[in-house]
A = this chain, B = another copy of it.
Amino acid sequence: MSYEYDAAFYEAFEEEAEELEKLLPKGHKYFFTWKSIQESDHIEPIAGIISTRTQSKFPISWIDKINAVITRSTGYDHVSAYFRECGKSVDAAYLPEYAARAVAEQAMILWTSLLRILPLQLESMSTFHRDGLTGREIRGRNLSVLATGRIGRQIVDIAHGLGMNVTGFDISPDESLAAKYPGFKYASLEEALCNADVLVCALPLTDKTNRMLDRKMLGLVKKGAVFVNIARGEISPTEDLLELLEAGILSGIGLDVYDCEKDLASVLRGGASLESIPEERRKTVAATLKLMRDTRAILTPHNAFNTEESVHRKSLETSKNLDAYFRTGRFISPILS
């Protein structure tokens, strides 16, 4: 097939598009938009290589019309799911490590701000009152991180640096972490939850972790814990989080990722009405909208990866993959399906 462009980059916000334009292999035609495929209303592919982040849904009909897919994200379950749905695949790449530190640092900002009830502090500036603004000290508190992969181990590093007591849960514990960080230890999921003043979810999204942190499991946390999710929203249903917050079991919630994130984005970004969201997902989106108005929650728009350093690394990794593909027909960091 012939296309108007060699590669189309969806979900590329301003700074990323600029950086990509600088770094991508020359002599090719590229298309950039901040929109997802759906928001772009592209019925047919406009390029042989389609690049997205995690919010676009690849149309089934495109599988026979495109040559390759690049997801500019560390997670690629959405690409695997697409191939499973199609019963076939095309060449595909992902970006394994570009943003681990940036994501961990944003998680830290969320958990420390929640311990010190920053949203209430900011609100109280307008009256210069201090009633109800007593927070909790960070040093000496217990932090549990779920999964000690690329992001999780950066979280261990940061929490250890802040003088916290750090516990990790992972299906494949890495004992070298305990050697590197005195005081760090692994525990079972249940133990990790029970002891946590701060619980950080850095789990990959898999069939096992999907909805793993539901009201029953998360209900095991120490009363008054704060919960931070910078991994994938599907791991912890929003209605359950809201319920645990309202019951006082969680005292604060920090999210950068969302259950039903595509639907949430279409409401917030595209102005779609809540009623237009299919019923089975409407409650989830409504719960997120409710959390947005709660001073016990700090919500950011899937932006934890977004630093100058990681935007640069991300565009560089994307362009190295594309360059290799143009020259050899193979990606550097392929998704193996």
Is A294 interfacial (CB 8 A cutoff)?
no
Is A326 interfacial (CB 8 A cutoff)?
no
B-side contacts of A138, CB under 8 Å: 105
Knowing A121-B301, A161-B162, say if A306 contacts B135 (CB, 8 Å): yes
Min distance, Cβ A133 to any Cβ of chain B, angstroms: 5
Knowing A105-B112, A137-B105, A307-B135, say if A300 contacts B161 (CB, 8 Å): no
Complex partner residue of A112 from B108, B132, B264, CB under 8 angstroms: B108
Min distance, Cβ A273 to any Cβ of chain B, angstroms: 15
Is A243 interfacial (CB 8 A cutoff)?
no
Is A56 interfacial (CB 8 A cutoff)?
no
Q: Are A121 and B303 in contact (CB under 8 A)?
A: yes
Bound together, the chains give a CA A112 to CA B108 distance in angstroms of: 9
Bound together, the chains give a CA A310 to CA B300 distance in angstroms of: 30
Is A20 interfacial (CB 8 A cutoff)?
no
CB contacts under 8 Å to B, within A293-315, are: 298-303, 306-311
Is A139 interfacial (CB 8 A cutoff)?
yes
Q: Are A269 and B137 in contact (CB under 8 A)?
A: no
B-side contacts of A307, CB under 8 Å: 116, 134-137
CB contacts under 8 Å to B, within A195-225, are: none
Knowing A105-B138, A109-B112, A137-B102, say if A292 contacts B126 (CB, 8 Å): yes
B-side contacts of A112, CB under 8 Å: 105, 108-109, 112
Is A101 interfacial (CB 8 A cutoff)?
yes
Min distance, Cβ A58 to any Cβ of chain B, angstroms: 20
Q: Are A137 and B308 in contact (CB under 8 A)?
A: yes
Knowing A106-B116, A125-B268, A161-B161, say if A137 contacts B101 (CB, 8 Å): yes
Bound together, the chains give a CA A146 to CA B121 distance in angstroms of: 25
Q: Are B34 and A129 in contact (CB under 8 A)?
A: yes
Q: Are B161 and A308 in contact (CB under 8 A)?
A: no
B-side contacts of A162, CB under 8 Å: 158, 161-162
Excluding A116-B307, A121-B301, A122-B300, 9 further A-B contacts by CB distance (< 8 Å) are: A13-B131, A34-B130, A108-B112, A124-B301, A125-B300, A128-B301, A130-B303, A134-B308, A136-B307
What would 25 A/B residue contacts be, using CB atoms closer than 8 Å? A13-B130, A101-B137, A101-B139, A102-B137, A105-B112, A105-B116, A108-B112, A109-B109, A109-B112, A109-B118, A121-B300, A121-B303, A122-B298, A124-B303, A125-B268, A126-B268, A127-B301, A128-B265, A128-B268, A136-B308, A137-B307, A137-B310, A157-B163, A160-B161, A161-B161
